[in-house]
Amino acid sequence: MQTPAHAALGDLLSYSGERTLLAGTLVRVPLGKREVLGVVWGSRPMAEEDAALEFKPLGTALDTLAPLGEAWRDLVAFAARYYQRSLGEIALAALPPQLRDLSGVQLARRLKRQGSAPVVDAGAAGPSAAAAATSDEQADALRRIDAEPGPFLLFGSTGSGKTEVYLQAVAALLARSPAAQALVMVPEINLTPQLEARFRARFEGRFGAGAVVSLHSGMTNPQRLASWLAAHAGTARIVLGTRMAVFASMPALALIVVDEEHDPSYKQQEGARYSARDLAVWRGRREGAKVILGSATPSLESWHQSRPPEGDDPGGRYLRLAMPSRIGAGALPAVRLVDMRLQPSKTVLSGVLLDAIGQRIARGEQSMVFLNRRGYAPVLACGDCGWKSECPHCSAFRVFHKIDRTLRCHHCGFTERVPRACPACGNPDIAPVGRGTERLEEHLGELFASVQRPDGSPVRIARIDADSTRKQGALESQLAAVHAGEVDVLVGTQMIAKGHDFRRITLVAAVNPDGALFSSDFRAPERLFSLLMQSAGRAGRDAAYLAAQGTTAEMWIQTQHTDHPLFIALRRHDYPAFAESELAQRRAAGMPPFAFQALLRADARTQEAAQAFLNAASAAADALEGAQQVARYPAVPLAIQRVANVERAQMLVESASRAALQRLLAQWQPVLHGLRRTPEGKGVIRWLVDVDPQQI
Ligand code: ADP
Ligand code: ZN
Ligand code: ZN
């Protein structure tokens, strides 16, 4: 029996009970002084030798709920094993928090409320939004999805109608099997309401209210429980959600869609560091459910895995389905590169870009300008003595937020009022250095202060980023203002680049994307390319509007590296060319997807202590079976080495064989636990293993 209290890998706990419970039954069990939620993992009759052991008696069994199925338990067990966590930790993360608090009777009542939602049989008609007549590309993709086992990589441009393919694949499934369930995942909570509306419109008329439920961390605990129960009971036919939804209990799961499969948000970055995309593929195979991964810029892992056979190479395990055409949208925007080396030094927005934005304003069109840095300025500095706004607790600068005149650390949250004068020398002239979205918004406001809109009114500039959207509902109302045409120039972080279906934006500009070209993280160019492609996809989404305006869509990029291959591929909207050149480099350097990685990380009071633990761990790994197949790199500090007064170090572990890496990690786990009790482990506050890390 398993309790979700954090404990070592494989930590099943045994209890005694009066009757045999089915595996998967939810139970309440005593643990120390508390009572916690557990899942029965197995049970057997008491044997004679058990008499000497004192088992604690089991608490209540929540057997008003059907036990969690074997497939679900296998998924949890696989995730625990693969990501080096305890079963309990994964199971706890997978179950809705309220299951811990309610009695069996209360749960039964909730379940009844779910079950009594009007469930209509397929065919019993209600009005549902009609499916679009599919394009040839869509029809072809749907035919192959129907005919082949998959997994599928649906490689479709922004606006090619991928969502329509998901909708029709789900519709075909539900029409065919009366009980089947589908799971549809998106990377961000922000994108769920839009998707939910489309799915409800399409399916609720036919299958009844309650057929479509959402599952994400933005929901209240009662809402989450309700969705979870509906999925578990099978009354929810379609579950829409973020990465956590991959663990939803769905007894009749037959189709899994992972939209924007390349998105880094599918990788959980704390606690159990699982990849919901990779687990979706595993789960699909285990349960015989079809899996569709969709993207305009697939991850290089999925792209490589979907390569067609060639020569001796049998090809990848995924089937690639291409949808290159945009439906109802204009041609992809023309990409214009502005060579910032030819601009006066310290230019923020080049004259040509400002002119282009000005022309859009004059025609009543919208522009979107993005910069991946929020706040007013990344640093505040004293020109006299060189003081800078460092965070006292982190190896990072605090960001100047002008709106509330604070210095805020984006790593530990430490916030102070901006000092009136330099804290080191008293100079009253401390100045912002560099630029964030707040300052860009202000700058644009000044530049367009004397410009008028076609009706003579002033230009309206708005900003959307994590700061502007902190309040509940703020994002929705800000997005609504953009959709309603109440904004001429929208400034923001990558938050505005994803998914939103803006109809009147005809110009998108990336102000300063160069940082990612030379990052120490080998995935930075891949992320930049997909972000820029996605941003470009925000412009010119409505062909009819472009035609009526007599305008074309443009994507502007300000860069010092106009001849960089990444930008050259971007200009041609040529993801395959970009992917091939990146993959060639990765292959030559022996990096993923041609190698498999894990990070061992240690946090300690001092950098020496953190590294000493990692080095001792590496030495101990020498003795493990198969160690020579797994390379271990030297321990290094993290890029931001200290956060909240904790020093952080990591060690990269790599192998050409995933199985060899997994074998080593499994043997290493108990060794690492043991190391904590040695002198090298004493100074360590915590350590963790990140399998298939996305950020190096
Ligand atoms: P993607 O998910 O690939 O970005 P969507 O599925 O959101 O694309 O489709 C983009 C737009 O085109 C949407 O407004 C959608 O309703 C419309 N659309 C998709 N498929 C068709 C079709 N076959 N006929 C007409 N319009 C379509
Ligand atoms: Zn000073
Ligand atoms: Zn800090």
234 within domain boundaries: yes
Instruction: Please report, in angstroms and rounded to a whole number, the separation of the first and last CA atoms in the chain.
Output: 36
pLDDT of residue 126: 53
- Local confidence band at 56 (pLDDT 50, 70, 90 cut-offs): confident
Domain that residue 386 falls in: 379-433
- Local confidence band at 329 (pLDDT 50, 70, 90 cut-offs): low
393 alpha carbon to ligand 3 midpoint, in Å?
5
Q: Quick one: 550 and 666 in the same domain?
A: no
Q: Quick one: 458 and 569 in the same domain?
A: yes
pLDDT of residue 7: 35
Please identify, among 541, 569, 588, the residue that sits at the C-terminal boundary of a domain: 588
377 alpha carbon to ligand 2 midpoint, in Å?
18
Average pLDDT over residues 7-13: 58
- Local confidence band at 116 (pLDDT 50, 70, 90 cut-offs): low
Average pLDDT over residues 455-472: 92
Q: Is 201 in the pocket of ligand 1 (CB under 6 A)?
A: no
Q: Quick one: 225 and 345 in the same domain?
A: no
Residues 368, 507 contacting (CB under 8 angstroms): yes
Please report the atom of ligand 1 found closest to the CA of residue 499.
4
502 within domain boundaries: yes
Q: Quick one: 169 and 309 in the same domain?
A: yes
394 alpha carbon to ligand 2 midpoint, in Å?
20
Q: Which ligand is nearest to the CA of 154?
A: 1
pLDDT of residue 2: 38
Please report the atom of ligand 1 found closest to the CA of residue 158.
4
Q: Quick one: 362 and 385 in the same domain?
A: no
What's the CATH code of the domain at 507? 3.40.50.300
Supply the mean pLDDT for the chain.
Answer: 91
Q: Quick one: 611 and 674 in the same domain?
A: yes
What's the CATH code of the domain at 607? 3.30.70.260
User: Helix or strand or coil: residue 39?
Assistant: strand
696 within domain boundaries: no
Angle at 195 between CA 190 and CA 198, to 5 degrees: 145
205 alpha carbon to ligand 3 midpoint, in Å?
51
Task: Answer yes or no: is pLDDT of 124 > 50.
Answer: no
Q: Is 409 annotated as a binding residue?
A: yes
pLDDT of residue 563: 93
What's the CATH code of the domain at 33? 3.40.1440.60
Q: Quick one: 429 and 441 in the same domain?
A: no
- Give the number of domains in the chain: 5
386 within domain boundaries: yes
Q: Quick one: 398 and 484 in the same domain?
A: no
Q: Is 391 annotated as a binding residue?
A: yes
Q: Which residue has the higher pLDDT, 548 or 130?
A: 548
How far is Cα 406 from Cα 414, in angstroms, rounded to an integer?
10
Q: Is 483 left (phi over 0), alpha (psi -120 to 50) or beta?
A: alpha
65 within domain boundaries: yes
Q: Quick one: 537 and 445 in the same domain?
A: yes
- Local confidence band at 120 (pLDDT 50, 70, 90 cut-offs): very low
pLDDT of residue 149: 94
Task: Answer yes or no: is pLDDT of 6 > 50.
Answer: no
pLDDT of residue 119: 45
Amino acid at 337: L
Q: Quick one: 296 and 260 in the same domain?
A: yes
State the Rg of the chain over Cα.
27
123 within domain boundaries: no
The percent of residues above 70 in pLDDT, for the chain, comes to 96
169 within domain boundaries: yes
> Which residue has the CA at smallest separation from atom 10 of ligand 1?
159
pLDDT of residue 221: 92
Residues 155, 163 contacting (CB under 8 angstroms): no
Q: Is 385 annotated as a binding residue?
A: yes
Q: Is 159 in the pocket of ligand 1 (CB under 6 A)?
A: yes
Q: Quick one: 323 and 350 in the same domain?
A: no
Amino acid at 176: R
* Two tokens, residue 360: 């859009």
Please identify, among 563, 588, 613, the residue that sits at the C-terminal boundary of a domain: 588
Please identify, among 588, 615, 641, the residue that sits at the C-terminal boundary of a domain: 588
515 within domain boundaries: yes
Q: Quick one: 79 and 153 in the same domain?
A: no
Average pLDDT over residues 230-254: 96
